[in-house]
Structure 1
Amino acid sequence: MMIFSIENFDDIQNMFENNTFDEFIKKLLETYESFGPLPGLILPMLEALLPFLPLFVFVLANSMAYGLLKGFLLSWIGSVVGAIIVFLIIRKLGNTRPLKFIQKNKQVKRVMHWFERHGFGPLFLLLCFPFSPSSVINVVAGLSRIHFQQFVLAVIMGKAVMIFTISYVGESITSFAQQPVKTIIVGVCIALFWIIGKIVERKLQKKSEEEEEVIKLSDQQNRKQDEDPSSKTSKQAYK
């Protein structure tokens, strides 16, 4: 088969020169699709467990191999199931020594408190963006005291937005070569997604830090009042 005949970079170069690279990609996707829906489900699911795997690539491949709707559904279901599995594992093992050590990290603590206070909103926003560290988000959410139902709802809705966007790009990718303007627009949109995601992430972090400072100041004032002898005397007199 042509797919398994590539041995080095020269073969790929020859394909470009002979205009056969499109044919190679087509056959590669046909081979991928011939394994049935399992690869389309399992690969996005594995990404939740192994964060170094590229979810973006898997979603693109699914939409190109199975089509927009089927590719989207396979990627979405696999990714959501994987995220829920990670959440439940972390929630179950939250009291183990390695995870307790992670919880002591200041950054992790801030995000945990933010999820606990605001629940659905921040999770949904972070999971909407393709370049958010979804594996890290799943772990931190599992360590926090956010309700399971809130997490599941945020994952289902947030990943639907993110995966459909990538799936649309993947399903339309063959037309991009013939329409350079479309390619530029999609490239700009992806860049904007990344920039907006980073801005939202920073704003959420800043807001979390501000709220943490307010809580600290409030705690300090309460301690001072408890330690102040005059306040104790007035309390006793009142009694």
Structure 2
Amino acid sequence: MIRKLFIFILYALIALLIYWYGDSILQWIRQGGANYVILTAFLATMFALFPIIPYPIIGGVLGAVYGPALGSLVTWIGSSMASIIMFVFVRFGYQDWGLNIVNRYKSLSKVTTLFEKNAFMTIFITRLIPVIPSIIVNVYSALSRVRFLSYAIASSLGKMPSMILFAVVGNSFVNDPSQLIVIGVAYLVFLGLVYGTYTFWQKKAENNEKLPEL
């Protein structure tokens, strides 16, 4: 119980700091703080971990400051590290509570078992779909028995397209707004391909579950 309380208080304190100083930190990055890339990546991680300011805005600022390549990298590092940190917090402090809740309901337990069997692809694909809240994927994965390494790799890889999008849009908004339409259309096509792939994979997984055992 002490461990759970400590993690909660630590998380709450950092969230308050980001809430109080978030605008000032963002202004510092715009005005020259970007010269300190490692520090900026750390701050991006904090912004992603505590999204007081929506992270697409952070990614856009980083893209405008650093350019599309380095901006995408810093944005991706921040988002990926934040998801890993949250996974560790929840797994270390609250997994026992989560498993008790899951095991209490048979239907939820079956869904979780199916999720654990196909964890890598499920996490990877859900990361590619921006309408699925990141915090749900983080917490549900941590409360399940998904292996840390599988989660970290699948989550980080799946975050790449959207993080690149945020940075590229931010850079284009500052330097060439006419490119935004092309970027938007390209990303919609990409999402269509992701949705089609996910639907095909899901149907295939369901069919495999229905096959009788020999």
- The CA RMSD measured in Å over matched residues stands at 3.6
One-letter amino acid matched to 1:185 = V
Q: How does 1:107-146 map to 2 (within 5 A)?
A: 109=109, 112-146=112-146
Q: How does 1:64-103 map to 2 (within 5 A)?
A: 64-92=64-92, 93-96=94-97, 100-101=100-101
Deviation of 1:117 (Å): 0.6
Does structure 2 retain, via aligned residues, the 8 Å contact 1:90–1:143?
yes
Deviation of 1:128 (Å): 2.7
Does structure 2 retain, via aligned residues, the 8 Å contact 1:44–1:59?
no
One-letter amino acid matched to 1:189 = A
Aligned CA distance change for structure 1 residues 86 and 120 (closer, same or farther; 3 Å): same
Q: How does 1:188-203 map to 2 (within 5 A)?
A: 188-193=185-190
Does structure 1 retain, via aligned residues, the 8 Å contact 2:102–2:112?
no
Normalised by the length of structure 2, the TM-score is: 0.65
1:234 corresponds to: none
Q: How does 1:1-239 map to 2 (within 5 A)?
A: 32-36=30-34, 37=37, 38-47=39-48, 49-50=49-50, 53-92=53-92, 93-96=94-97, 100-101=100-101, 109=109, 112-177=112-177, 179=178, 182-193=179-190, 214=210
Deviation of 1:76 (Å): 1.7
Q: Secondary structure at the match of 1:160?
A: helix
CA displacement, residues 23-75 of structure 1 (integer Å, 9 cap, x when unaligned): xxxxx97862523443453234442x335652222111111112223222221
Deviation of 1:112 (Å): 3.0
Bigger CA radius of gyration = 1
CA distance in 2, matches of 1:103, 1:58: 39
Deviation of 1:120 (Å): 1.5
Q: Secondary structure at the match of 2:95?
A: coil
Deviation of 1:197 (Å): 5.5
Does structure 1 retain, via aligned residues, the 8 Å contact 2:86–2:138?
yes
Aligned CA distance change for structure 1 residues 86 and 157 (closer, same or farther; 3 Å): same
2:12 corresponds to: none
CA distance in 2, matches of 1:128, 1:91: 23
Percent identity of paired positions between Structure 1 and Structure 2: 27
Aligned CA distance change for structure 1 residues 89 and 45 (closer, same or farther; 3 Å): same
Deviation of 1:87 (Å): 0.9
Deviation of 1:109 (Å): 4.8
CA distance in 1, matches of 2:191, 2:108: 22
One-letter amino acid matched to 1:50 = F
Deviation of 1:99 (Å): 7.3
The range that moved more, 100-109 or 133-142, is 100-109
Q: Secondary structure at the match of 1:58?
A: helix
CA distance in 1, matches of 2:154, 2:200: 19
Deviation of 1:144 (Å): 1.5
One-letter amino acid matched to 2:54 = P
Normalised by the length of structure 1, the TM-score is: 0.59
For structure 1, the 5+ residue unaligned runs are: 1-27, 219-239
Q: Secondary structure at the match of 2:146?
A: coil
Does structure 1 retain, via aligned residues, the 8 Å contact 2:72–2:163?
yes
The range that moved more, 128-137 or 191-200, is 191-200
Deviation of 1:151 (Å): 0.8
CA distance in 1, matches of 2:140, 2:32: 37
